[in-house]
C-alpha cells in the first residue's frame, strides 16, 4: 500500500467530535492498540464497550468505550481503519445521553471542550508520527451561503446549475411547499422550529424533498419541503403555533376497564366474520379519511368463502384517482403491492377478520410517537381499534 493511502482526519470543520483513520493494511489494528496504550498512559480508562457485551457479543471485540473524567469516547474498529467519537454527559439534550446528541461539540461545557481538543491533538500527533497523513480540514468559520453551496456541489447527485433559481430539473413532489406552491432556489420561505416559532430564510435544494435554509450570515438548517410556506394565510402568520399532537389529547391517557373491553370483544364475536369485515372496512375508511393511508381498500367475502380485497380509490403523490371498476388485490401474496406501513395495517386486519383475535400493534398509540400533522388522531384510532376488539389492552 502506498503512503498516500494511509491517512486520518477530524471533523472539527463541521463542528463534530469524530476522528477517522483509514488504512487497509493490518497495521491499523496494531496502531489502534498502541494508541489506546498511549491514551491509558495519559489517564484514560479504555475497555470493551459494555453495551455491545450485553446486546451484540459478536461485535464487542471491535467496539470500545473510553473515560477520562467527564470526557468520554466510543471507538469502532473497521476493516479499513477505525473511528473514535468523543462525547460528554454533563450537558446534553437527548434523553438517552450525550452519546446520541447531534451537536456534541456545541453542547460541551468549556473545560470539557478544551480537554477534548487537547486529547484530539495528542491522537493526531501520535498517528502522524506513525507515518499517517493528516487530511483534516481547518476549522474555518465559513459563511452560511458558502457552506450550503459547498454541500450542494459536493453531493453525488449534483448537476450543473442545480443551485440556480431557473433550474427546473426537480420533480414536482420535491419542490412543493405546505400549501402546494412551487419552491425555487433563492426563494424566501417561512417555517416553524421545534417549538412552533416562526422562522424564515433563503432556500436552496438539497436532496429529495429536503431544502437548505440560510437563516443568517453564519447559520443554516435543513427542512423538508412540506414544512415551508408563505405568509399568505392567517394561520401561517401566527408567530407561535403548536400543532395538535397525541401528547395533547386527553384520550391518550385513557384505558378502558377490562370488563368494558370484554363486553366489546363478546359483542364482536357474536357477529362473526361478516361483522368483522364491516368493522375492518369502516376502520380502513377512517384511516383513509385522516390520510394515514393513501389507498382506500375494502375486504369482502368471495364465493368460495375466502377473504378478498379490492382497491376503490387512492391519493398517491397528491392526486386523487377513483376506479370505475374496483381493482383486485392479491391479499395472500408474499409481498403486498403497497408501502410497508399500509401492508402492516392490511395484514393485521386480515388476520383479525379471519381469526377474530386482536392482531393490531400498539406502537402507533404510544405518547412517545405523538408528533406529526395527524398524530392527534392516534387516541381516536386506538379507541376505534379497542371497540372492534382488534387491539388488546
> Tens of pLDDT along 133-184?
998 888 767 788 988 998 888 888 888 888 888 888 888 888 899 998 999 9
For residue 232, count CB atoms less than 10 angstroms from its CB and return exposed for 0-12, middle for 13-18, buried for 19 or more. Answer: exposed
Whether the per-residue pLDDT at 367 is higher than 60: the answer is no
Whether the per-residue pLDDT at 374 is higher than 70: the answer is no
Q: Beta strands 81-88 and 210-216: pairing type?
A: unpaired
What integer pLDDT is reported at residue 373 of this predicted model? 58
Q: Which grid coordinates are listed for 179?
A: 400549501
Whether the per-residue pLDDT at 264 is higher than 90: the answer is yes
What average pLDDT does this structure show over 305-330? 91
For residue 129, count CB atoms less than 10 angstroms from its CB and return exposed for 0-12, middle for 13-18, buried for 19 or more. Answer: exposed
Domains identified in the chain and CATH numbers: 3-134 (no CATH), 144-242 (2.30.30), 247-387 (no CATH)
What integer pLDDT is reported at residue 170 of this predicted model? 83
Nearest to 14 by CA among 109, 136, 153: 136
Please identify which residue in the block is written with the cell numbers 375486504.
299
What integer pLDDT is reported at residue 227 of this predicted model? 92
Whether the per-residue pLDDT at 329 is higher than 90: the answer is yes
What average pLDDT does this structure show over 118-126? 95
Confidence of residue 276 (pLDDT cuts 50, 70, 90): very high
Helix%, strand%, coil% for the chain, nearest 5: 40, 25, 35
Could you tell me if 352 and 360 are in contact, meaning their C-beta atoms sit under 8 angstroms apart?
A: yes
Amino acid at each position: 500500500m502506498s503512503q498516500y493511502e494511509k491517512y486520518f482526519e477530524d471533523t472539527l470543520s463541521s463542528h463534530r467530535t469524530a476522528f477517522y483513520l483509514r488504512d487497509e493494511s493490518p497495521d491499523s489494528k496494531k496502531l489502534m492498540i498502541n494508541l489506546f496504550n498511549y491514551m491509558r498512559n495519559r489517564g484514560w480508562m479504555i475497555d470493551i464497550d459494555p453495551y455491545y457485551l450485553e446486546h451484540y457479543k459478536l461485535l464487542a471485540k471491535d467496539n470500545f468505550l473510553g473515560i477520562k473524567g467527564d470526557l468520554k469516547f466510543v471507538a469502532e474498529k473497521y476493516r479499513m481503519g477505525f473511528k473514535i467519537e468523543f462525547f460528554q454527559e454533563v450537558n446534553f439534550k437527548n434523553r438517552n445521553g450525550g452519546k446520541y446528541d447531534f451537536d456534541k461539540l456545541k453542547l460541551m461545557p468549556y473545560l470539557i471542550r478544551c480537554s477534548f481538543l487537547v486529547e484530539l491533538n495528542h491522537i493526531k500527533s501520535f498517528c502522524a508520527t506513525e507515518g499517517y497523513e493528516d487530511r483534516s480540514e481547518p476549522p474555518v468559520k465559513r459563511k452560511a451561503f458558502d457552506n450550503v453551496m459547498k454541500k450542494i456541489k459536493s453531493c453525488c447527485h449534483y448537476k450543473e446549475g442545480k443551485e440556480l433559481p431557473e433550474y427546473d430539473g426537480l420533480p414536482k413532489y420535491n419542490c412543493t411547499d405546505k400549501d402546494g406552491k412551487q419552491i425555487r432556489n433563492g426563494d424566501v420561505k417561512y417555517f416553524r422550529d421545534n417549538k412552533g416559532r416562526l422562522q424564515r430564510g433563503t432556500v436552496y435544494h438539497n436532496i429529495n424533498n429536503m431544502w437548505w435554509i440560510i437563516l443568517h450570515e453564519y447559520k443554516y438548517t435543513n427542512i423538508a419541503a412540506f414544512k415551508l410556506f408563505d405568509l399568505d394565510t392567517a394561520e401561517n402568520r401566527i408567530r407561535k403555533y403548536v400543532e395538535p399532537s397525541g401528547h395533547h389529547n386527553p384520550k391518550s391517557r385513557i384505558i378502558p376497564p377490562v370488563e368494558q373491553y370484554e363486553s366489546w370483544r363478546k359483542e364482536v364475536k357474536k357477529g362473526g366474520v361478516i361483522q368483522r369485515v364491516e368493522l375492518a372496512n369502516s376502520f380502513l375508511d377512517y384511516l383513509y379519511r385522516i390520510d394515514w393511508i393513501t389507498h382506500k381498500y375494502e375486504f369482502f367475502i368471495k364465493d368460495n368463502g375466502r377473504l378478498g380485497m379490492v382497491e376503490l380509490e387512492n391519493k398517491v403523490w397528491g392526486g386523487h384517482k377513483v376506479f370505475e371498476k374496483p381493482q383486485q388485490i392479491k391479499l395472500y401474496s408474499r409481498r403486498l403491492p403497497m408501502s410497508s406501513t399500509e401492508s402492516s395495517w392490511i395484514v393485521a386486519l386480515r388476520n383479525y377478520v379471519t381469526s377474530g383475535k386482536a392482531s393490531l400493534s400498539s406502537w402507533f398509540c404510544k405518547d412517545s410517537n405523538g408528533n406529526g400533522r395527524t398524530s392527534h388522531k392516534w387516541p381516536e384510532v386506538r379507541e376505534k381499534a379497542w371497540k372492534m376488539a382488534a387491539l388488546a389492552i
